[in-house]
Amino acid sequence: MEAPVCLIENLKDGSLQVNAEAVEILSKINQPLVVVAINGMYRTGKSYLMNKLAGVLKGFELSATVQAKTKGIWMWCVPHPKMKEKTLVLLDTEGQGDVQKRNSKNDLKIFCLSVLLSSALIYNSRGTIDEDAVE
Protein backbone atom coordinates (compact mmCIF):
# COMPACT_ATOMS: atom_id res chain seq x y z
CA MET A 1 0.00 0.00 0.00
CA GLU A 2 1.42 3.34 -0.98
CA ALA A 3 -0.74 5.44 1.33
CA PRO A 4 -3.29 5.03 4.12
CA VAL A 5 -6.98 4.56 3.28
CA CYS A 6 -10.08 5.08 5.36
CA LEU A 7 -11.24 1.80 6.94
CA ILE A 8 -14.17 3.11 8.99
CA GLU A 9 -15.96 6.25 7.80
CA ASN A 10 -18.00 8.66 9.90
CA LEU A 11 -21.25 9.41 8.14
CA LYS A 12 -23.16 12.68 8.52
CA ASP A 13 -25.95 10.93 10.44
CA GLY A 14 -23.45 9.87 13.13
CA SER A 15 -23.22 6.23 12.06
CA LEU A 16 -20.06 4.41 11.06
CA GLN A 17 -19.53 2.55 7.79
CA VAL A 18 -16.85 0.16 6.57
CA ASN A 19 -15.09 1.39 3.43
CA ALA A 20 -15.34 -1.22 0.64
CA GLU A 21 -11.94 -0.24 -0.82
CA ALA A 22 -10.24 -1.03 2.50
CA VAL A 23 -12.00 -4.40 2.73
CA GLU A 24 -10.80 -5.25 -0.77
CA ILE A 25 -7.21 -4.37 0.14
CA LEU A 26 -7.35 -6.56 3.25
CA SER A 27 -8.90 -9.47 1.35
CA LYS A 28 -5.90 -9.56 -1.01
CA ILE A 29 -3.36 -10.03 1.79
CA ASN A 30 -2.36 -13.70 2.00
CA GLN A 31 -0.26 -13.67 5.16
CA PRO A 32 -0.89 -13.21 8.88
CA LEU A 33 -1.61 -9.66 10.07
CA VAL A 34 -0.21 -7.78 13.03
CA VAL A 35 -2.72 -5.00 13.69
CA VAL A 36 -1.59 -2.02 15.78
CA ALA A 37 -4.15 0.67 16.65
CA ILE A 38 -3.62 3.99 18.38
CA ASN A 39 -6.15 5.90 20.50
CA GLY A 40 -6.02 9.05 22.59
CA MET A 41 -7.21 12.62 22.82
CA TYR A 42 -7.41 14.68 19.65
CA ARG A 43 -4.36 16.70 18.54
CA THR A 44 -1.86 14.65 20.57
CA GLY A 45 0.34 13.30 17.76
CA LYS A 46 -1.24 9.90 17.06
CA SER A 47 -0.81 10.19 13.29
CA TYR A 48 2.80 11.33 13.70
CA LEU A 49 3.56 8.32 15.90
CA MET A 50 1.96 5.92 13.41
CA ASN A 51 4.07 7.42 10.61
CA LYS A 52 7.13 6.73 12.77
CA LEU A 53 6.02 3.10 13.19
CA ALA A 54 5.65 2.87 9.41
CA GLY A 55 9.17 4.27 9.04
CA VAL A 56 8.13 7.29 6.97
CA LEU A 57 7.83 11.04 7.40
CA LYS A 58 4.60 11.33 5.42
CA GLY A 59 1.75 8.86 5.32
CA PHE A 60 -1.06 9.48 7.76
CA GLU A 61 -2.14 13.08 7.30
CA LEU A 62 -0.71 15.60 9.77
CA SER A 63 -1.83 19.14 10.54
CA ALA A 64 -0.27 22.10 12.28
CA THR A 65 -3.68 23.57 13.17
CA VAL A 66 -5.80 23.05 16.28
CA GLN A 67 -8.45 21.26 14.23
CA ALA A 68 -8.37 17.47 14.20
CA LYS A 69 -7.47 15.89 10.84
CA THR A 70 -8.22 12.18 11.24
CA LYS A 71 -11.88 11.22 11.02
CA GLY A 72 -12.99 7.63 11.59
CA ILE A 73 -10.32 4.91 11.45
CA TRP A 74 -7.61 4.96 8.78
CA MET A 75 -5.45 1.95 7.93
CA TRP A 76 -2.09 1.45 6.32
CA CYS A 77 -0.75 -1.99 5.44
CA VAL A 78 3.05 -2.12 5.34
CA PRO A 79 5.63 -4.93 5.45
CA HIS A 80 6.41 -5.92 9.03
CA PRO A 81 9.91 -4.56 9.79
CA LYS A 82 11.11 -7.71 11.60
CA MET A 83 8.78 -10.57 10.63
CA LYS A 84 8.90 -10.74 6.84
CA GLU A 85 6.13 -13.36 6.71
CA LYS A 86 3.64 -10.93 8.28
CA THR A 87 1.94 -7.70 7.27
CA LEU A 88 1.77 -4.79 9.71
CA VAL A 89 -1.61 -3.04 9.65
CA LEU A 90 -1.51 0.37 11.33
CA LEU A 91 -4.84 1.84 12.45
CA ASP A 92 -4.90 5.57 13.11
CA THR A 93 -8.06 6.63 14.92
CA GLU A 94 -10.01 9.82 15.27
CA GLY A 95 -9.00 11.62 18.44
CA GLN A 96 -11.22 11.61 21.48
CA GLY A 97 -12.64 14.71 23.12
CA ASP A 98 -13.03 16.92 20.04
CA VAL A 99 -15.68 19.50 20.99
CA GLN A 100 -16.64 20.00 17.33
CA LYS A 101 -18.08 16.48 17.03
CA ARG A 102 -21.80 16.17 16.53
CA ASN A 103 -22.12 12.87 18.38
CA SER A 104 -20.51 12.37 21.80
CA LYS A 105 -20.93 8.57 21.57
CA ASN A 106 -18.65 8.56 18.53
CA ASP A 107 -15.49 8.45 20.68
CA LEU A 108 -16.65 5.28 22.41
CA LYS A 109 -17.59 3.58 19.13
CA ILE A 110 -14.21 4.38 17.55
CA PHE A 111 -12.32 3.26 20.65
CA CYS A 112 -14.24 -0.04 20.95
CA LEU A 113 -13.80 -0.84 17.26
CA SER A 114 -10.07 -0.22 17.40
CA VAL A 115 -9.71 -2.43 20.49
CA LEU A 116 -11.63 -5.24 18.80
CA LEU A 117 -9.69 -4.95 15.52
CA SER A 118 -6.18 -4.71 16.95
CA SER A 119 -3.52 -7.18 18.06
CA ALA A 120 -1.88 -4.38 20.04
CA LEU A 121 -3.33 -1.08 21.23
CA ILE A 122 -1.41 2.11 21.93
CA TYR A 123 -3.12 4.68 24.16
CA ASN A 124 -1.39 7.98 23.47
CA SER A 125 -1.58 10.35 26.43
CA ARG A 126 0.05 13.55 27.54
CA GLY A 127 1.34 12.82 31.02
CA THR A 128 -0.23 10.11 33.14
CA ILE A 129 -3.46 8.34 32.28
CA ASP A 130 -5.98 9.77 34.73
CA GLU A 131 -9.63 9.03 35.54
CA ASP A 132 -10.88 11.33 32.76
CA ALA A 133 -8.90 9.35 30.18
CA VAL A 134 -10.27 6.05 31.48
CA GLU A 135 -13.86 7.29 31.25
Residue 130 lies in a domain: no
**Model's pTM, two decimal places?**
0.84
Query: What contacts 48, CB < 8 A, 6 or more positions away?
Result: 60, 62
- Domain with residue 97: its CATH number is 3.40.50.300
Print pLDDT tens along the chain (135 aa). 789 999 999 887 878 999 999 999 999 999 999 999 999 887 777 888 888 888 877 877 765 555 555 688 999 999 999 999 999 999 999 878 776 666 678 888 999 999 999 999 999 887 777 676 666
Residue 100 lies in a domain: yes
Q: Into how many domains does the chain fold?
A: 1
Q: Are 116 and 93 in contact (CB under 8 A)?
A: no
Please count the CA atoms within 13 angstroms of the CA of 120 that sit on its side-chain side. Answer: 10
